Amino acid sequence: MKKLILIALCLTFSGLAKDSPPITKVLFLGDSLTEGYGVKKELAYPYQAKTFLEKEGHKIEVLNGSVSGSTTASALSRLKWFLKGKPQLLFLALGANDGLRGIKVEESKKNLASAIELAQEKGVKVVIAGMLVPPNYGPDYGREFKAMYKDLSEKYKTAYLPFLLKGVAGETEFNQEDGIHPNEKGHKKMGKLVADHLMNLLKEE
């Protein structure tokens, strides 16, 4: 009798394990917007996205490799480090500080391309998150900067989120007093946007 009960329990738990979705590691590589400047780190949008995705039945592990103030120049070196964690997805959200510093778009583009190439070489799927620069940087620079992300996405055939701060940028309700960094409500809104873009990639896993 005891043997029968043990066998039944083993079959039950093995069935549960079989039906359980695999854990997907998502590496977020960004700056202060992704690190969660000014809010509790666990409330930053990568973790908000995790919450939304897990409500849909996905199991997510967040690797947040973001550093406030960082530019695209650090993308490759940080990616090399975090690849040790064996992520399946890379959410690349860098460039905002490049734009604010007026760094040449070609330089930023080259830095991002190096990171994308390494990720794809390692079999990691990439999502590129686009950014915009304030209008005072001039229309030419603004257009070139915006186009950089789309160009990279098309060249490397990656998933693409045109504007990470869609519905958040410039909205007092969703930003801290500095008008630049999202507050908790802003991060939640960003998390939903990001989760929606990651959903299709997770279905392909």
Q: What DSSP assignment string belongs to 88-122? A: SEEEEE--HHHHHTT--HHHHHHHHHHHHHHHHHT
CATH architecture of the domain with residue range 23-204: 3-Layer(aba) Sandwich (3.40)
Please report, rounded to a whole number, the percentage of residues in the chain having pLDDT higher than 70. Answer: 89
Q: Tell me what pLDDT residue 3 has.
A: 54
Tens-place pLDDT, residues 78-112: 999 999 999 999 999 999 999 999 999 999 999 99
The residue assigned the tokens 């519905």 is 167
204, pLDDT greater than 60: yes
Mind telling me the catalytic residues? 32, 178, 181
Q: Tell me what pLDDT residue 205 has.
A: 61
Q: Where are the alpha helices (DSSP H) in the chain?
A: 2-19, 32-35, 45-55, 75-82, 96-100, 105-121, 139-156, 184-204
Please report, rounded to a whole number, the percentage of residues in the chain having pLDDT higher than 90. Answer: 86
Tens-place pLDDT, residues 58-78: 999 999 999 999 999 999 999
The domain ranges of the chain are 23-204
